Amino acid sequence: MKKMKSWILGLGLLVSNVAFGQTIQDGLHFLDRHQPSRAKQVFESLVAAAPTGENYYYLGYYYLNLRDWDNAKAAFEKGKAADPKNYLNQVGLASILVGQNNVSAAKVEFDRIIKETKEKNPDVLHRIAEAYEMFYVLGKEDSFNANNNDPGEAIRLIDLIQEKTKKVPSAAQYIVKGDAYLIKNDGGNAVTAYEQALLQDPKNVKAKVKIGVVYLRGKNYKETQARYKEAIDLDSNYAPAHRRYGEYLIVGNQYKNAARYFRKYLEKAEATPEVTLETAKLLFLSKDYEGAMKFTDEADKKGVKDNDIYRMRGYANVEMGNYQQGIENLDGMVKKGVKPYFMDDLYFGKGYQGLGKDSIALQYLERAAPLDTNNNVYSIIHDIKYKQKKYADAAKAGIGSIDWKKKKSQTVGSGDYFKVAMDYYLTSAYMDRADTLGRPAMAMRADSMFAKAIEINDKWPPFYINRARANNFIDYTGTKWLGAPYYEKFLAAVEQQKAEKSTQYKEDKNQMFEALKFLGGYHLSVTKDEAKVKELFTKAQEIKPDDPDIKAYFNPAPAAPAAGAPKK
């Protein structure tokens, strides 16, 4: 009989071990690694084996992360019914409100739960703190994140855990604190929190990736790369590390390498329809347009329910030069009543521009320009206006492009100012010569922009000769010789390019002749330096031997003979 009881007890333990072979931590592990199906399988198995309040909470937590509010609510309500004394499911139900952008209503529930648990339940405090930051998405528009977070309360609650329990927070709790500081754009405290997580768990790859995110936001690219590489070396199967590293590479314009890491991300993560489409978007950002189309089609075949399918096909086709097809994809999206996005206008514009329909393109691009924080649409508008010879409009767009770069803390180069300078110069050139107010005033705008270009790069000859020409328009009487100093600097810059054996600058003989002849005239009329005049005109004549003015200088017409005395 004893043997029979032992056998039954052993069998019971065996069944128990099979049922509980996987743990809540296993499910969280898979969820964190973007493997939702495996996470779901773990949580459902736990509920099936033991339908406790805690197990139901983590099944609901799985759905909460997927923003599947209905299934999350169903799981939490079952958990609440199974164990009314377990407050986690009440936390879960209130967390849904945060995810639905109703943080104020959620706070009422959270405050009640905290009060009823006397601020002493670390799991409750942890999950409420997490709810206050988990739905915020970095980089999303303000309207998306308007009412889905309260980072200050999240930080307070994590600190409260230590205050009430006298125990150091866990690595997961410190990560919640770091995420809250990241929402507040407090990178220093965010890194401190993540590093504290690593002190609790030195192999916490998530914390290393999070530190990399902070450094990327702070444009500390060296530290960003180091942290992401450390994360991948620590756990090469951690999918988010590959994705984040790809995003870092995009910032450095290493598009081909970025695409490689995004493909690795898909290999390590679960290739759900949603993740497949997300990878397509990442490949699009890395300029792997064929890859973007491939994975968009795969996501579509897998049954993804996302209107971005239209966008991805429209955008990618436009970038690949299939302009008509791209426009048709975007038109299909509009007909479906999909909520418009500013980049839709950008790609409609680029599509019509590709078809040579610049006027239609401009309608879309001008609508997109003030809203697009990712693309300098003003630069595209400038080039179309310049092509149309609408130079004043081009200058306006060029100024918009410079302002956009400044707002984005991007470097404004000499070429940016030179473009606008040429727009003003050409506007002046096409104005009526009789307009002795407007024409010089426009040329002065050009001069100002040439000066800014030269301030950044004082070695580029075209800046000087065009500034000289603009000053010739300012000097509308032709008596002040305002272009002279800039023609001199032009010649000096050309000589410097030759001395440096520059392969970028190609000498223009017509421009050289223009400068030499102008300066020869200047010294002939102003300084009366005959030696200098002869030197300059000699060089000019070597370029254009038949120029009539210079020929006349070297071969003056004989003076007419004096009239003879009258014969007597």
- Strands, E, within 150-214: which ranges? none
Q: pLDDT, tens digit, for every residue of 186-212?
A: 999 999 999 999 999 999 999 999 999
Average pLDDT over residues 466-471: 98
Query: According to the model, what pLDDT value does residue 21 have?
Result: 67
Better-scored residue on pLDDT, 514 or 144: 514
Q: pLDDT, tens digit, for every residue of 238-297?
A: 999 999 999 999 988 899 999 999 999 999 999 988 889 989 998 998 999 999 999 999
Query: According to the model, what pLDDT value does residue 9 have?
Result: 38
Q: Which residues contact 295 (CB under 8 A, 6 or more apart)?
A: 266, 276, 277, 279, 280, 283
Q: Which residues contact 331 (CB under 8 A, 6 or more apart)?
A: none
Quick one: pLDDT band at residue 342, thresholds 50, 70, 90? confident
**Residue 314 contacts residue 340 (beta carbons within 8 Å):** no
CA 452 → CA 194, 330, 410, 474, 485, distances in Å? Answer: 44, 41, 16, 18, 17
Give 12: exposed, middle or buried? Use CB within 10 Å, 0-12, 13-18, 19+.
exposed
Quick one: pLDDT band at residue 566, thresholds 50, 70, 90? very low
Cα separation, 92 vs 54, whole angstroms? 11
Q: Which amino acid is at 350?
A: K
Residue spans of alpha helices (H) in 269-341: 273-285, 289-301, 308-319, 323-335
Quick one: pLDDT band at residue 560, thresholds 50, 70, 90? low
pLDDT at 529 over 50: yes
Output the pTM of the full model.
0.74
Closest-CA residue to 88 (of 76, 99, 72, 96): 76
Quick one: pLDDT band at residue 469, thresholds 50, 70, 90? very high
Assign 119 to helix, strand or coil. coil
* Structure-block tokens of residue 324: 């008509």
Give 68: exposed, middle or buried? Use CB within 10 Å, 0-12, 13-18, 19+.
middle
Average pLDDT over residues 305-319: 90
Assign 2 to helix, strand or coil. helix
Better-scored residue on pLDDT, 420 or 219: 420
